[in-house]
């Protein structure tokens, strides 16, 4: 191992992550002055670029949360986040993976008996946006034949991209309003269930009733309709047993594929 190089890289990386801790004398000792740039000035280009780059990528991954907080406050949260959870992966797709957990761990009312509603909303929205982001580029059903109305229940399988989630706020509606540039205000709590699914590389957001979400969640684990019903207990019926239109809607949203496509 190149000891001098190791030492230099550890020093420079710390200087990027925590610019305020970079000792000016050490900067001068390691970096060469140029006529145009002092050592500290040159290092500052990398320090500033790191901060701006991370903030920019976080805004791209959490556009609705950025809208909710305003860019300045969002950037402050993002900066604190990467100080606490510096990027570990070679891919920027991973950058926001721990953001909702970070916000939850750092919530200002964590030691209080009373929970601040706006904090709950921020965390809920961060979770939703991460779910949408992961669905966009994760496993999908584009190479699998979709299920059709003619596909019998025994042959229905869930789209591999499907995520069934419970949120405390109508975050999906808020997200779509931001997308439509409607400048929404933070909504009051309204617990809900939502399916996020990708079809033809487009991400679909499907509101669910609690019982429907329960069925789909169990089916995620059990694979087939029959096994899901067995898991749910005696007398369990499909969500569409008395509402054929529901099955049609879910098929149209791409929530199912046909069984033989996966074998």
Check if the beta carbon of residue 172 is closer than 8 Å to that of residue 140. no
Residue with tokens 């500052």: 44
Nearer to another protein, 75 or 229 (CB): 75
Neighbours of 35 (CB within 10 A): 5
Q: How many residues does the chain have?
A: 263
CB of 26 to another protein, least distance (A): 11
Nearer to another protein, 10 or 110 (CB): 10
Query: Measured at the alpha carbon of residue 121, what is the angle toward residues 115 and 122, in degrees to the nearest 5?
Result: 105
Nearer to another protein, 83 or 115 (CB): 83
Question: H or E element: which one contains 165?
Answer: strand 163-167
Helix (H, G, I), strand (E, B) or coil at 153: helix
Residue 167 has φ and ψ, to the nearest 5°, of: -125, 155
Nearer to another protein, 133 or 215 (CB): 133
CB of 177 to another protein, least distance (A): 11
Q: Return d(Cα 117, Cα 187) in angstroms, integer.
A: 10
CB of 261 to another protein, least distance (A): 16
Give me the residues that bind another protein (CB under 8 A), please: 1-2, 4-6, 8-10, 12-13, 16-17, 29-32, 34-37, 39, 41-43, 45-46, 48-50, 52-54, 56-57, 60-61, 63-64, 86-93, 132-133, 136-140, 142, 172, 175-176, 178-179, 198, 201-207, 249, 252-253
CB of 243 to another protein, least distance (A): 15
CB of 4 to another protein, least distance (A): 6
């Amino acid at each position: 191992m190149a000891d001098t190089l190791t030492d230099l890289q550890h020093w420079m990386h710390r200087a990027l992550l925590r610019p305020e801790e970079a000792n000016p004398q050490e900067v001068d000792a390691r970096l060469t002055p140029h006529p145009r740039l002092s050592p500290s000035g040159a290092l500052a280009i990398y320090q500033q670029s790191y901060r701006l780059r991370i903030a920019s990528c976080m805004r791209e991954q959490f556009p609705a949360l950025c809208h909710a907080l305003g860019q300045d406050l969002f950037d402050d949260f993002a900066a604190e986040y990467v100080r606490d959870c510096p990027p570990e992966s070679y891919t920027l797709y991973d950058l926001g993976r721990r953001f909702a957990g970070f916000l939850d761990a750092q919530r200002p009312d964590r030691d209080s008996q009373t929970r601040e509603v706006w904090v709950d909303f921020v965390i809920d929205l961060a979770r939703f946006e991460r779910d949408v982001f992961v669905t966009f580029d994760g496993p999908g059903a584009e190479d699998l034949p979709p299920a059709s109305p003619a596909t019998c229940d025994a042959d229905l399988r869930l789209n591999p991209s499907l995520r069934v989630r419970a949120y405390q706020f109508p975050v999906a509606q808020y997200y779509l309003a931001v997308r439509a540039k409607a400048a929404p205000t933070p909504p009051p709590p309204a617990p809900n269930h939502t399916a996020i699914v990708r079809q033809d590389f487009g991400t679909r957001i499907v509101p669910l009733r609690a019982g429907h979400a329960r069925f789909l969640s169990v089916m995620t684990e059990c694979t087939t309709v029959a096994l899901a019903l067995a898991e749910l207990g005696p007398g369990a019926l499909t969500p569409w047993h008395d509402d054929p239109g529901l099955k049609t809607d879910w098929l149209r949203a791409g929530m199912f594929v046909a069984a033989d496509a996966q074998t």
